[in-house]
Each structure stands twice: as C-alpha cells, then as structure tokens.
Amino acid sequence: MPFDYLPPIFRPSDSKIVLLVMDGLGGLPIEEGGPTELEAARTPNMDRLAKEGMLGQTIPIRPGITPGSGPAHLALFGYDPIRYEIGRGVLESVGVGLKVNPGDVAVRGNFCTLDEEGNISDRRAGRIPSDESAPLVERLQGIQLPGVETEVRQVKEYRFAMVMRGEGLDPDIEDTDPQRTGVPPLPIEANSPAAEKTAQLFGQWYAKARELLTDQPKANGMTLRGFATDPNLPNYQDSYGVRAACVSVYPMYKGVASLVGMDVIAFEGESPHDEFAALSRVWPDYDFFFVHIKKTDSKGEDGDFEGKAKIIEGVDQALPQLLGLKPDVLIVTGDHSTPARLRTHSWHPVPYLFWAPATVRPDDQPKFGERACARGGLGTFPALDTMPLALAHAGRLEKFGA
Amino acid sequence: MPFDYLPPIFRPSDSKIVLLVMDGLGGLPIEEGGPTELEAARTPNMDRLAKEGMLGQTIPIRPGITPGSGPAHLALFGYDPIRYEIGRGVLESVGVGLKVNPGDVAVRGNFCTLDEEGNISDRRAGRIPSDESAPLVERLQGIQLPGVETEVRQVKEYRFAMVMRGEGLDPDIEDTDPQRTGVPPLPIEANSPAAEKTAQLFGQWYAKARELLTDQPKANGMTLRGFATDPNLPNYQDSYGVRAACVSVYPMYKGVASLVGMDVIAFEGESPHDEFAALSRVWPDYDFFFVHIKKTDSKGEDGDFEGKAKIIEGVDQALPQLLGLKPDVLIVTGDHSTPARLRTHSWHPVPYLFWAPATVRPDDQPKFGERACARGGLGTFPALDTMPLALAHAGRLEKFGA
C-alpha cells in the first residue's frame, strides 16, 4: 500500500476529485527575464482558480531526477517510482496499448543488423524508419507457438513491444542485447529454473522470427530486453478508497492507469473538449478522475514554445466545461517539466494548482505560472503527496489518532 | 531514539528553549480574501518576533493527515507518530490525568445499555450526561481485586478510562465492543498466553462492575477498548540532552509530555499569565520548556472565529512576561490547525514562528500569520524538525563530521 496509514482513516463521501495532468507542463523562459510557456499563455480560467486556490510546485520523483512518463505518473498516483518499479517491457507494452496481465511476460524488442557470421553490425538496424519496420512487425505477429499466445506491436522505428501469454510463464530472463557490435546477440537464458520453460518459448519464437527476417538487409535480427510481468501494484481503490477513472488519448497513460486499477474510459476525438465530454458522461460513476493532456509535452519536445503555450490556452478555454461539473477538488499540474528550450523532459519542479473551494487556505497568488507557484502556499513538495492532499480536501479522511 | 545522529553531537550549554504551542493555531478565512484567526488578531509582540525571527509552516504528521492531539504533540516533540504509536487506552488515560507506567494496562471504557438478554441496546448508554455518569465511575473506583490496583476516571458522558497496576500484566487483549447492537459485549479475551492472567483480572473486574450497575436504566453495562501499556518512548533528555518541563492546564498534554519524560509543573490558575508565571518559577531548573495553550483549539472547535482571535491576543499580551526571561530560542506555533470555519481539527499546515536573536536569518516577514508563514524563510517543513532546529539555534549541537 503506498500509504499504510490512509485506509484505516477512510471516510465515506460522495465528493469528486479531478487530477488534470498537462504532460510536461513545466517550462523555462526562452529569453532573459521572459515568461515560461505557462506564464506566456493566456489562461483566465486557471488564473481565477489560482486566485481562489493554492499554488505550489512539485518534485516529480527526487530532486534532480528527470522522470520518464511512467514513473512521473506513478508518482502523481502516489506510488513512489523508486519503490514500485514497472519493468521496462511492461512500460513499453502498455505504452503501445498492449494489455499486460499478471502471469504475462512483456519485453522490448530492438531490430538490429546481423552480418554473415551472425554478429551485430548495427544495434538499431540503421534506425530503420517506422514505415519500413511496420510490415516486419506484422510478420512477427503471425508467429504461432504451441500453448501460448504472443502479441507484437510496433513502438517506432527499430523498436517494438511484445507480450507472451499462457500458463506458468516467468519473466526472470536475461536481456539479449550485448550492448556492443561485433558479437552475436546473447542467448535467451533463464536466470532461475522457474523461467526455463519461458526462455525456451522465447527461444522458439526468436528462431521463427529470424527465419521471417532473412530477406531483410537491415532488420534481419533483434535483441530482447526488459522481460517483465504485471508489477502487481496495490489497487487504487484499496489504496485511496475511490473509484477511479482515466481519460486519456494516448495508450501509455491509459496503460499506467490500468496498472494501478483505474477504469480506462473509451471515447472519440482527442481535444480537451472531447476529453472533458468523456469525463462528463461517466461523472456519476466515479469518485476520482485522471485526465491526461499529451500535447503540451509533444510541443515541448519539438522546441515549440508558442505551440506549447497555445495547447495550454486550449485547455484553459475548455476548462469551464469541467468546472460546470462542480468538482470538490481540482488539481491542475503536469507530470514533469518539458521546457521547449531544452526540447526534452527535465528535472525542474512542476507548477501545481490546487483548487478546493470549501477548504483551501488562499495564498494571494493571482496567476498560474512557475514563478507564482514557487511562492505559493503549498510550498515545494513531492508529487507523491497529491493523493493524501486531495483526499483530505475532499473530506475523505478521518482524524489520525485521538 | 528519534534522531540517532543527535546524541553524538550534543554540546553542553546553559541556553534555554521555549516551545509555546497554541493548540489548533492554524486557521482559515471566513470570508473570501479575508484574514485567518491569527491574521485577524492584534499581536504586536508576536509581529515583532516575526520581524526579528523567521517564519515557516509545518506539516504536523504527513500531508493531508488531520492529527489528533496526541500524535500532533508527539510530532512536535520529534517522535514520528507513524512510527511511535501510543495505544488508545493510554492516550485516553493520560488525557484525564491517570498515570500509565511501564507494566500498567490502560483501557478506554464506554458505558452501554444491555437488555434483559444481555444484548447491547445502546452502545453509548443513551449518551448519558456527565453528571449522571460521574457517580457511576465513583462506584467502579471502589472495586477491589486481589494483587492488583485499579484506577478509574471519568472522561465525559458515557466514556471513562481505567488503569490496572500490578505484577506480570500484559495488554494484549481484544476489544469487547462488538461495534453493533443486538448482541452482547464480546468476552474479555487474551490474544496471547502472556495476557491470560490480565484478561482474567479484567473479567473479574467486569463481573463486579456489572453487579454495581444492575440498578441503572441506561448505563448497566460497558465495553472496553484499546488495551495498552506505556509506549516506552525514548526519553527526552537522552534524545535531546535537555532537562524538559511541561507547563499545561489540560491533563492530556501533561500526559503526553510525561510519556516522553518531561517533568510536569504543578501550578494554580489557567491563564497564559498563570502559565508563564509557573514557567518563571522553574526557569533555572530546566533547559527546555513546553508551554501549552488549550483555548485556541476549543474556540476553533466552537466555530468561534472572534473568540479564537481573542485567545491569541491574550497570549500576545502576556508574552513580554516570557520574553523577560530572555530565552535563547522561542518557538511560537500550534500542534495542528483548527479553523473556526471547519469547527474541527484539520490537515492544513501550521503557522510557525522561530525566534533566536543570536542566530536566526531574518526573512523580511513583518507579521505572524498564515500567508506570511507560507512565504517565510523556513519554508514548509515537517513539525518533526522542531527539536533539531531548536537545539542548533540554542548552541547545543556540535558539527557533524570533520
């Protein structure tokens, strides 16, 4: 359980909590003294919420640590990524929408180039473009093995993910990537007797895959890494006493949400409006709503400062639709920073807006932005604190001790 | 030991530290944009201390956790309440002034109503008023058992506390409250062989108690809960190298202070003036003084915003008396928040004023209040850090490492 001391003090309530995550929200100025992306964006609705609520900034995982998307979301959900590890094979698989259930074995695959002696000459198959690797993944999807089911899906370029499903599988298998060229891929070997059978099955699969790729000039081999199974994370409802729903366009975030036991809501479209509409439809059925906006991060990774600010403005414009539902607690934040200036995820603290009209202590910050958040009443705190704070303000926790 | 790294670096000193706790100090505005109770109060003395010293805000236990009074004070004393648990029977007993020594067994009692078949018809004996239950507690106090001593004291209404003292007692006994009506109280049963004898003694006591209550229409039975003994907390002087005194009007706080090994100072009266006078009298005999003001919390629980502000003003007016003693370190804070608006304890951070003329780094906050504290130089930090900070500013700690 992420917080052992919470379940004994759960209090029943029909309050509603919304966690609105703009991926990679945190930014940096692109000119001296200038605004960040969030500060540059026109966000009258968020500014009103900032004024009525409290600001702060979060440390996503640990100070100085730049989070990947999986760990960053785990942290927001209250599962310390240093303690709760999701195997890389699982993260890659759920990231492309593959289901990983307990007992399944998931793995990441890299196409590589093998020379005539079977030694690796290019560990990334010449960074084969996605449209060339897609039909190869199709071929691999056709492989049949006795007694187990396999599912293969493209990630991008030379990368794919794979899940094996069946009885008695065990992921305790060594990576086959030798991490250098001039040598063959390592054999698929079990680290423990329980995984022998699984290693053999992957070996059979690999042999068939090699045959299917013999005609390929670049992607004629592959390495497999990060064998892992469902991380068996404590269930969200057990951990926090809420029925939780995930509204997200991208598979990765749906995947992480489903690993903690949230229900993933299906819907059409991909605008903030579409996401909020989906949320409205299931509003009566859940207590906690995780809503994920992807494009802030994508624009940040593109180095598109203006574009990122525009995405934030789009979310702000759609916000009244969400506020119309009258949530008791609304948190607007990011999972990490992706400053357009750096074109990548970063370790910087993440701006955090906490709004709960009945119980917040106002901190006189009139605008949502990094500088205001650094001065906000919530201070600088771990993203991990999100759920206990949300539950408290939602009236869902009793007093601790007499 | 709460902080294993402190005792090796203790430095002898004759400096004096005062921890002034206004119970439930933290508050909330009652109107939009308005002040909190502390911000509304006229506090020229505290404002001067704020200007000369540093402000901050504390998380009493963990973010989002609303503390009971026992855990909140343990935290201020440096004992993490998640790690150091005081059994409910002990907390209730020390709360009404019963001593609980190592080896004693303390328990909470609830009068209940039993029907002719001996089933519980009302778990709280019709919430019998205190003046009706007081003589019943008197009767129970008369019960004699061979080889042990028992002490019973009223808490209020249907609640009482009881301590059994003697050789070879063990608190590993199950609660007898079935948590519902229509069934009899559960038998008094040991959870382990070591507690068999104790369970039998409580059983004998209960049989005699039942006889003494047969004439009662409402309170003719009882349930017993939270069997516990002295939590054996590390001693304050060993943990911090200070001789510590407690000045408090209410038994609960004296009880928690005595559980960590503070001396409880006896005195007459109950105003801040009386408390500071008591402190003056023992000033030469101790290094550390915990002074507890109760009524800020009581007024908060009454929903009396003005009344709470007035209590704070009364403390401020008496403060020069304390400052005249020239403490080296003075901390003015609360154990938790009790906003009049919520009429109950809450999880909000607690305003914190740290004054130590020789060593503080000023933070340009001119007034003691929640908003100023949220911007203060100490930041937002766990209440648990209080003692190390106090010892440092009191010149009582050597350098750590070479």
Residues of B in contact with A362 (CB under 8 A): 29, 33, 371
Residues 6+ apart with CB under 8 A from A97: A153, A251, A254, A255
**Tokens describing residue B67:** 């503390």
Element (H, E) at B19: strand B17-22
- CB-nearest to A363 from B61, B95, B374 is B374
Chain A residue numbers touching B343 (CB-CB < 8 A): none
Higher-confidence residue: A62 or B85?
A62
Predicted ipTM of the assembly:
0.90
Q: Does B63 touch chain A (CB under 8 A)?
A: yes
Indicate the average pLDDT of chain A.
96
pLDDT tens by residue, B264-316: 999 999 999 999 999 999 999 999 999 999 999 999 999 999 999 999 999 99
On the question of pLDDT at B88 being above 90, the answer is no
Is residue B247 predicted with pLDDT exceeding 90?
yes
- A306 reaches B (C-beta below 8 A): no
- Check CB contact under 8 Å for A392 and B65: yes
The predicted structure's pLDDT at residue A379: 96
What is the DSSP track for A258-297?
Answer: HHTTPEEPP-S--SHHHHHHHHHHHGGG-SEEEEEE-HHH
Q: Flag whether residue A379 sits within 8 Å of chain B, measured between CB atoms.
A: yes
3-state secondary structure of B84: coil
Q: What is the DSSP string of B305-317?
A: HHHHHHHHHHHHH
Is the pLDDT assigned to residue B259 strictly greater than 90? yes
CB contact under 8 A, A388 and B64: yes
pLDDT value of residue B379: 96
Going by C-alpha positions, the residue among B20, B19, B16, B18 that lies closest to residue B293 is: B20
Q: Which of the residue ranges A248-257, B249-258, B352-361 has the most confident prediction, judged by mean pLDDT?
A: B352-361
Amino acid code (one letter) for A31: E
- Chain A CB within 8 Å of residue B28 CB: yes
Q: What is the mean pLDDT of residues A73-80?
A: 98
CB contact under 8 A, B64 and A385: yes
Which chain A residue lies closest to B94 (C-alpha atoms)? A402
Residue B61 has its nearest CB partner, among A378, A385, A400, at A400
The pLDDT-based confidence of B32 (bands split at 50, 70, 90) is confident
Contacts of A399 in chain B (CB under 8 A): 66-68, 344-345
- Using CB atoms, pick whichever of B63, B95, B375 lies closest to residue A385: B63
| Nearest residue of A to residue B74, measured between CA atoms | A401
Give residues with Cβ within 8 angstroms of A1, minimum separation 6. Answer: A7, A234, A238, A239
pLDDT at B30 over 90: yes
Report the phi/psi class of residue B89: left, alpha or beta, with left for phi > 0 and alpha for psi in -120 to 50: alpha
Q: How confident is the model at residue B156 (pLDDT cuts 50, 70, 90)?
A: confident
Residue A402: is its pLDDT beyond 80? no
The partner residues of B113 in beta bridges, in order of sequence, read: B122
B112-141 confidence digits (pLDDT tens): 999 999 999 999 999 999 999 999 999 999
- Read off the pLDDT of residues A185-228 as tens digits, 9 standing for 90 and up: 999 999 999 999 999 999 999 999 999 999 999 999 999 999 99
What mean pLDDT value characterizes chain B?
A: 96
Distance from the Cα of A241 to chain B's closest Cα (Å) equals 15
Binding-face residues of B in 318-377 toward A, CB within 8 A = 342, 344-349, 370-371, 374-375
The whole-number pLDDT of residue A195 equals: 97
Subunit contact B81:A401, Cβ cutoff 8 A: yes
What is the pTM (predicted TM-score) of this model? 0.91
Which residue type is seen at B10?
F
Contact at CB, A400 and B71, closer than 8 angstroms? yes
Q: Does the pLDDT of residue A392 top 80, yes or no? A: yes
pLDDT computed for residue A95 by the predictor: 86
Residue B91 forms contact with A (CB below 8 Å): yes
Q: CA-CA distance, B312 to B163, in Å (whole number)?
A: 36
Which pLDDT does position B95 carry in this prediction?
85
Mean pLDDT of B389-402: 96
Hey, what are B267's tokens? 């005195």
Distance CA B356, CA B54 (A): 9
Contact A379 B374 (CB under 8 A): yes
Token duo for residue B276: 């500071």
Q: Does A385 touch chain B (CB under 8 A)?
A: yes
Contact A380 B375 (CB under 8 A): no
